[in-house]
Chains A and B, each alone.
Chain A
Amino acid sequence: MSIFSSNSKKTGKTCTVIVGCGRLGANIADSLSEAGKDVVIIDSNSDSFRKLSPMFGGMKITGDATEMLVFNDLDMKNVSSVIAVTNHDNTNIMVAQIAREMFHIDKVIARLYDPARECVYRELGIDTICPVILSTNEVDNLLFGGTTA
């Protein structure tokens, strides 16, 4: 998680907003919270927050992050990064673009299931994580010891 700390040192912004409290979102939120960072997690369903560890010390917001009202409620000046990890690619893309274009967040990361959409969003300065590509590379790595990767 070094990217977050290096980022916050430079700008003085400290808070990370995570959109989508699925397995990935909850895990990232827990590990950031454990490392003592400010974390806000947003999900449209309050039941999703049960995935968070009981030790989670961040803020939980129930709401639809594609509605800009949710972002308006937050102190966006203090937000260094937004991570969009809901289970819908389109939602992640829209949240990432709202964060980037409307709120000028420095670091924006979106998880995309479908690698075909990635090329369109790379030019906007949004980092994308694609589990399919990561897993493919890792399987390659395990099978061939990284010689083909």
Chain B
Amino acid sequence: MKPRVILIEGYDETRYLAKSLIGNGYKVTAINEDIEKCKLLAGISNLRVFHGDGSKPFVLDDADVYDADIAVAMSPFDDANLVICELCKKKFNIKKTVAVVSDPKKTDFFRTMGIDSVVCAISAISNIIEQHILLSDIKTVMPIGEGHAEVIQISVPENAKVTGQKLCDIDLPKQAIIGCVLRGSRTLVPHGQTTLESGDGLILIVAGPNKEAAIRKLTAK
């Protein structure tokens, strides 16, 4: 059976998501409060469109969202997104719920309330700014475990203090390990005797607050 996705509110987001999800073989339902936007959304082929306030149970019931695989709440109002996700989970037995939040301080609260994924554009942007301004040696970052741990790619700059050192001699902070060394076209899984060279790409796995300390240690000149 095709996985079913419910997209609630957020006109532009719904448009692009719906097109790509339908293209990938998902069965997509869109719910929007604005009748004009519903009419425009109805132009997308194979998209089921329902008009109504997605935070009202009867609207979700009419749209027959029961037992869907994923519900995504994208209204501009945090409180509506919370209610939509909770209704979807508790009353309509939807397996996974995703909420967009505007206030970064609420992400943990949303997770406490049982929402599976919380997306916050503001914290994503502030993370990018933080990484690019403060720590320009970072190449890529991938959050894992709801953002509490990260996989980070950094490169060892020329004349860095750590070049020529064995890994076992480098005093990395706790909760941080080097998982992989990228040297030229080779990929090494390092051990304690591996020595670092300038230009090495390091795949670092860090959890908790030691991220910056670990990166400074490996990139300090």
Contact = CB atoms under 8 A, between A and B. Distances in A.
Contacts, number: 52
Contacts of B58: 116
B112 A102 contact: yes
Nearest to B109: A102
A116 B87 CA distance: 10
Contact of B83 (A67, A102, A117, A119): A117
A67 B91 CA distance: 27
B91 A120 contact: yes
A90 B82 contact: yes
B105 interface: yes
A77 B221 CA distance: 49
B83 A94 contact: yes
Which secondary structure dominates where chain A touches chain B? helix
Given A114-B56, A117-B57, A69 B105 contact: yes
Contact of A90 (B57, B77, B103, B105): B77
Given A67-B103, A116-B56, A116-B58, A98 B109 contact: yes
Interface extent on B, as a size class? 20 to 34
A89 B83 contact: yes
Interface string B80-114: 10110011001100000000000101100100110
B77 A68 contact: no
B105 to A, nearest CB: 5
B113 A97 contact: yes
A97 B106 CA distance: 12
B79 interface: yes
Contacts of A83: none
Nearest to B89: A120
A104 to B, nearest CB: 12
B87 A90 contact: no
Given A116-B56, A120-B91, A101 B79 contact: no
Interface string B41-61: 000000000000001111000
A67 B102 CA distance: 11
A85 B86 CA distance: 20
Interface of A: 66-69, 88-91, 93-94, 97-98, 101-102, 114, 116-117, 119-120, 123
Interface of B: 55-58, 77-80, 82-83, 86-87, 90-91, 103, 105-106, 109, 112-113
12 contacts: A66-B79, A67-B103, A68-B106, A68-B109, A88-B79, A91-B79, A94-B82, A97-B113, A98-B109, A102-B109, A116-B58, A117-B56
